[in-house]
Amino acid sequence: MDAQALLEAVRFNEQGLVPAIAQDAETGEILMVAYMNKDTLRQTLETGRMTYWSRSRQEVWVKGATSGHTQEVREVRIDCDGDVLLFKVKQNGGAACHTGHRSCFYRKLEGDRLVEADAPVFDPAQVYRK
Amino acid sequence: MDAQALLEAVRFNEQGLVPAIAQDAETGEILMVAYMNKDTLRQTLETGRMTYWSRSRQEVWVKGATSGHTQEVREVRIDCDGDVLLFKVKQNGGAACHTGHRSCFYRKLEGDRLVEADAPVFDPAQVYRK
């Protein structure tokens, strides 16, 4: 994908970041939200593999580099004011979340409690062991 | 909905805001992303109607107050690290975007161009006229 038109349309925030939603291209399930800077956005478009900027580690984060749970870009969208990106992706390895859940949004509000709406699909201790 | 468990789990950013994704509860389509502060999140949970904090106008933004295109909350989710909210909603009036499109994410990347993937469903000049 040629990144130029998209890169020009993005309004990065004061930290030079834009939130990126990863949505399952097949099911419509929202898998996760993380951030990209200009370089990792360009890298994502060039490689077709979701590549974020880790705010906690302050480093390039090729999704799935450790876990094998990579995300392949199927479609790229931008919102009306250019400050959020939406990527429809193919999620490899079954899960997007480091907790082992398919989606990071596995907790939902029921009455006055947060409950686990979906069970984990892998054991993080096995995947992230050194 | 009792807001307390959710309010305690949210990690608001340095501006006191949290991004909120509105997803069509029926189709899974992502309609828009905007921000909530603690008060508008509480108001959203109490009223069941999506209520954002407008960063540009610096005011409470009851979605659809002007256009009639309100959003009714069907389900509330929070991500693993508590810094993004996902609301599954019923979109009234056919459109979430002030441009007249159903979704704010109506532009997609095709090759080196951004193209309009979906046609508008209303004429903003009619809806927002004074």
Looking at per-residue pLDDT, the higher value among A53 and A130 belongs to: A53
Q: Which residues does chain A have within 8 Å of residue B6's beta carbon, measured at their own beta carbons?
A: 109, 114
CB atoms closer than 10 angstroms to residue A77: 23
**Predicted confidence band at B2 (pLDDT cuts at 50, 70, 90)?**
low
Nearest Cα to A60, choosing from A51, A68, A70? A51
| ipTM confidence score | 0.94
| CATH superfamily, with its number, for domain A4-94 | Phosphoribosyl-AMP cyclohydrolase (3.10.20.810)
- What three-state secondary structure class fits A51? strand
**Inter-chain CB proximity A78 and B114 less than 8 Å:** yes
Q: Looking at chain B from residue 50 to 69, which residues have their Cβ under 8 Å from any Cβ of chain A?
A: none
H helical segments located in chain A: 4-9, 38-47, 124-127
pLDDT at B112: 86
Using pLDDT thresholds of 50, 70 and 90, give the confidence band for residue B127: confident
- B30 contacts A86 by C-beta, under 8 angstroms: yes
User: What residues in A contact B106, CB-CB < 8 Å?
Assistant: 77, 80
Task: Please give the pLDDT value at position B130.
Answer: 52
Task: Tell me the two tokens of residue A104.
Answer: 């990071």
In this model, does residue A70 exceed pLDDT 90? yes
3-state helix, strand, coil in chain A (%, to 5): 20, 35, 45
Residue B99: closest CA among B87, B116, B113 = B116
Contact A6 B114 (CB under 8 A): yes
pLDDT tens for residues B5-38? 899 999 999 999 999 999 999 999 999 999 999 9
- The CATH architecture annotation of domain B4-98 reads Roll (3.10)
B38 phi/psi in degrees, rounded to 5: -60, -40
